[in-house]
Amino acid sequence: MAKFFEGESHTFSEYLLVPGYSSAENIPANVSLKTPLVKFKRGEKSAIELNIPMVSAVMQSVSGPRLAIALAQQGGIAFIYGSQSAEDEAQMVREVKSYKAGFVVSDSTLTPEMTLGDVLDLKEKSGHSTMPVTDDGTSRGKLVGIVTSRDYRPSRDDRSKLVSEFMTPADKLITAPEDTSLKEANDIIWDNKLNALPIVDKNGHLVSLVFRKDYDSHKSAPDELLDDSKRYMVGAGINTRDYETRVPLLVEAGADVLCIDSSEGYSEWQKRTLEWVRATYGDSVKIGAGNVVDAEGFRFLAKAGADFIKIGIGGGSICITREQKGIGRGQATSVIDVARARDEYFEETGVYIPICSDGGIVYDYHMTLALAMGSDFMMLGRYFARFDESPSDRVIVNGSYMKEYWGEGSARARNWQRYDLGGNKRGLSFVEGVDSYVPYAGPLKDGVEASLLKVKSTMCNCGALDIPELRDKAKITLVSSTSIVEGGAHDVLLKDSNQQVSYNFRS
């Protein structure tokens, strides 16, 4: 006889927090969002603690090196996508680990043979107006010049004009050698009234750029997530097929934590993968697993050795798993169930295994709810895809800036496997994700700060100064569909259509 779960399964939008008593101490500046990433024993501390409870989804359209750096600067961690060759993924991990704050490796590099049209297109896509020109167009090629928006007049100059005709050539540029410190670079920028300073190696090859505007921001990143060698922390996604070759490359590249990326975690494949990692590396390699949506799935992965466990099937914004396969569970109900199992497991064994609510965060308050319901941190895809730093292109759709965002189960993401692995033996023959646009939302730093200010403010309303206290004190209520309508602006005509847009804008 099939097992029937009692009650319905609910999602975050069906809940609200009821305020508790807040004292004068309860102000956002006093709130800590520190949270454990990997399992630990009673009385001990997690080997990795996040400074903010956010990790980025293991997705091509979300977690590349640029986003990983920007998120680590804010105190979270990115999981570089695994749907690429193991060598390419390891290279992305290395890029994050070798990153020096303030030294930017350009992802908008030109060749002298390109045209003004190419420059304008690249500027549109990347949002960058300063572009180095190298002999081969790569970010490590020989520096031959630089282009800034002061070098051309888009309305008057011919789009076919060559970059070599209007760039500032290398012999007219001030550059600095590889061992220049950020402070020294900044002094050169100020003394010479520059906007950007190219850093070059002894053969004249481009290494990075230092921008005038960046210096202050790099001095003030109080929450940045660093390893013992003061490098940014980064995670990497793996699968249950090629782990024996992929994991060693990622570990060698310096990945701080791994995560098995799969829509279904309650499987023998995940157990085998976890066991192989433990047999090969003991506890020195940290690895999360998932996704599960109930206590049974949690216990299975806990026993198999997962360092953290992800929750969520079918709730992601680009996800059509529920429609395609009819499996899944409301995200809020899944979190509540698994959090209870995590606490019971802790009581029984003295081992605390952090859990991560993955997918389905639409409004900022969903994050607060996920934390209040017991999640230790959240994994977000759509949320991060919207920012400058995500790997996808920025495009104009119906007059508005958008970023592309596609699911790992979409045909677009799966192509790499067909071509690079020579066919996926256990592969699925139907799509579980869509290809989409999401509204462009500027720099990650601004977006994350704004969201977390709201989370902290709500925590204060609940009388909580940290995540465990929120979990203890939160009072959570289900809401009816009419009270959801009551929660938005209603029965008024908004004066400003922009207000309407920003009001409806989901973060």
Q: Is 319 annotated as a binding residue?
A: yes
Choose, by CB under 6 A, the member of 358, 364, 376, 404 that binds ligand IMP: 358
Q: Is 201 annotated as a binding residue?
A: no
We find the least distance from the C-beta atom of residue 126 to ligand IMP, in angstroms, to be: 22
Q: Which residues of 51-90 are buried (b: 16+ CB within 10 A; e: fewer)?
A: bbbbbbbbbbbbbbbbbbbbbbbbbbbbbbbbbbebeebb
Residue closer to ligand IMP by CB (options 57, 105) is 57
Residue closer to ligand IMP by CB (options 151, 432) is 432
356 catalytic? Reply is no
Choose, by CB under 6 A, the member of 64, 235, 265, 316 that binds ligand IMP: 316
Do residues 387 and 379 make contact, with C-beta atoms less than 8 angstroms apart? no
* Per-residue binder mask for ligand IMP (CB under 6 A), 263-302, x = binder: x---------------------------------------
Among 319, 356, 460, 462, which one carries the catalytic annotation?
319
Q: Which of residues 21-80 bind ligand IMP (CB under 6 A)?
A: 57, 59
Question: Which residue is at the shortest CB distance from ligand IMP?
Answer: 433
Residue closer to ligand IMP by CB (options 84, 263) is 263
We find the least distance from the C-beta atom of residue 360 to ligand IMP, in angstroms, to be: 5
Count of residues that interact with ligand IMP, criterion CB under 6 A = 24
Residue closer to ligand IMP by CB (options 18, 327) is 327
Q: Which of residues 389-448 bind ligand IMP (CB under 6 A)?
A: 407-410, 432-433
Q: Is 319 in the site for ligand IMP (CB under 6 A)?
A: yes
Q: Is 443 helix (H, G, I), strand (E, B) or coil?
A: coil
**Residue for token pair 């010479």:** 192
**Residue for token pair 């690249």:** 122
The tokens for 49 are 């603690």
We find the least distance from the C-beta atom of residue 480 to ligand IMP, in angstroms, to be: 24
Q: Going by DSSP bridges, is the β-strand pair 206-211/40-41 parallel, antiparallel, or unpaired?
A: unpaired
- The C-alpha atoms of residue 209 and residue 130 are separated, in whole angstroms, by 10
Torsion angle of alpha carbons 238, 444, 336, 321, nearest 10°? Answer: -50
Burial class (CB in 10 A: 0-12, 13-18, 19+), 492: exposed
We find the least distance from the C-beta atom of residue 409 to ligand IMP, in angstroms, to be: 3
462 catalytic? Reply is no
Q: Going by DSSP bridges, is the β-strand pair 196-200/176-177 parallel, antiparallel, or unpaired?
A: parallel
- The C-alpha atoms of residue 168 and residue 145 are separated, in whole angstroms, by 5
- From start to end of 308-362, where are the E strands? 308-311, 351-352, 355-358
Vertex 237: Cα angle to 65 and 250 (nearest 5): 75
Do residues 288 and 300 make contact, with C-beta atoms less than 8 angstroms apart? no
Among the residue ranges 177-185, 246-254, 380-388, 392-400, the one whose residues contact ligand IMP (CB under 6 A):
380-388
Q: Is 40 helix (H, G, I), strand (E, B) or coil?
A: strand
For residue 26, is the peptide bond before it cis, meaning its omega torsion is within 30 degrees of 0?
no
Residue closer to ligand IMP by CB (options 431, 479) is 431
Choose, by CB under 6 A, the member of 265, 359, 374, 463 that binds ligand IMP: 359
Q: Is 307 annotated as a binding residue?
A: no
Q: From the annotation, which residues make up the binding site for K(+)?
A: 314, 316, 319
Known catalytic residues are 319, 418
Q: From the annotation, which residues make up the binding site for NAD(+)?
A: 261-263, 312-314
Q: From the annotation, which residues make up the binding site?
A: 261-263, 312-314, 316, 319
Q: Rule CB under 6 A: which residues touch ligand IMP?
A: 57, 59, 263, 312, 316-319, 321, 358-361, 379-383, 407-410, 432-433
